[in-house]
Amino acid sequence: MSVVRYGSASPHRVNPSLPPPSSSAGLGGARILIVDDDRLSSSVLADMVSKEGHDTFIANTWTEALELFTKHEIDLVLMDAVMPTVDGFKLTGILRKRTTTYVPVVFITGLADSKSRLRGVESGADDYLVKPIDALDLHIRLIAMLRIRRLTHALEVRTKRLALLANIDNLTGLLNRRSLEERLADEVSQAILGETPLSALMIDIDHFKAVNDRHGHAVGDVVLATVGQVLDETVHTEDLAFRYGGEEFIVLCPATTLQQAKDLGERIRILFRQRTHALAPAGEQTLSIGVANTAELGLHKLGRTAEFETTLLKAADQALYRAKNEGRDRTVVATLPVG
């Protein structure tokens, strides 16, 4: 296994062939960060850990520790409790705030008294190893802590998957209305704080009721799923696409001008018509799209998130209504005033 000291050239994963400890391959090949201001002690410990089959990263200052912890997917931290400037107690608290995943921390220290142990636990440490370190004690701690890491990681992944499923529309694969209600406020707040434009596209399938009535809901579902595929292919990575309800969809485009949003609407509209042209028996279908932009509406002057949200979506909806009235199968941009 490899030992990487701070500042040496190394890839994101020291050995890409090694699986994380959360995999079915077991507890080998973990990425362990050693934090100790004593270079000799840290090197000796790194050699011991490497013999256990793990990759090690060595930091001799608290700033080096922060950088390595942030850059690499660390599975376990072995931390010296007594260090200059920022000791292990404070640094553990800082590391805990820097990650959303649970990474076990074991103190490596000569402080074996009960008060020091209590302080370590209160600061976020999970266990202690007292210097001089015994190889068997180290082996036991690594097994126990990496087992915790593996189990908590698996739980975190499962929780994230469940949260994702709760916010996904099963038919189209897009985010659902519940997700829109959760994400819209965040996108609006970022637009206000950053003083950047936020565009919204309101999309509706033309004459969709006729598709269901004439061909049945199974064919209608194919048409809806096609919208999801088209949006997945056309919207940018930073954009958010939602199924708003029924045959209506919304796309939020951060840092996007009105013209850019209109161009996106046209790409969506044309591609959807091309894709559905090959769908039998429903045949070619069309979209009407309304586009609104916060900068064009002057919404940054409001400074109030709720009113900002309401006005933006209302303007996009009114533009969609105009697209329908003007003959459908077109993209229309919102104009002032919004009423």
The dihedral through the CA atoms of 42, 48, 50, 52 has a sign that is negative
**pTM of the shown model:** 0.58
User: Nearest-CA neighbor of 200 among 235, 262, 264, 251?
Assistant: 251
| pLDDT computed for residue 19 by the predictor | 39
DSSP string covering 11-33: -SSSSTTSPPTTSTT-S-S-EEE
Q: Is residue 294 part of a domain?
A: yes
Q: Is residue 171 part of a domain?
A: no
| pLDDT computed for residue 297 by the predictor | 86
Q: Is residue 299 part of a domain?
A: yes
User: Which two tokens mark 43?
Assistant: 């090197």
| pLDDT computed for residue 6 by the predictor | 67
CATH number of the CATH domain containing 117: 3.40.50.2300
Q: Is residue 246 part of a domain?
A: yes
Quick one: 122 and 28 in the same domain? yes
Looking at 114, 142, 166, the residue that finishes a domain is 166
Quick one: 305 and 264 in the same domain? yes
Quick one: 273 and 158 in the same domain? no
How many domains does the chain contain in total?
Answer: 2
> In which residue ranges of the chain is pLDDT below 50?
9-26
Quick one: 219 and 241 in the same domain? yes
Between CA 284 and CA 319 the distance in angstroms is 23
Expressed in angstroms, the distance from the first to the final Cα of the chain is 67
247 in active site: yes
Between CA 246 and CA 261 the distance in angstroms is 23
Cα dihedral 119→125→131→135 (10° resolution) = 150
Quick one: 195 and 329 in the same domain? yes
- Which of the residues 52, 64, 187, 247 is marked catalytic? 247
Domain span holding position 309: 177-333
Quick one: 37 and 99 in the same domain? yes
Cα dihedral 107→108→112→118 (10° resolution) = -10
Quick one: 303 and 223 in the same domain? yes
What digits encode the pLDDT tens for the residues 258-297?
999 999 999 999 999 999 998 878 899 999 999 999 888 8
| pLDDT computed for residue 302 by the predictor | 66
Strand-pair category, 240-245 with 287-293: unpaired
Between CA 221 and CA 201 the distance in angstroms is 22
Quick one: 114 and 220 in the same domain? no
Cα dihedral 36→42→48→49 (10° resolution) = 50
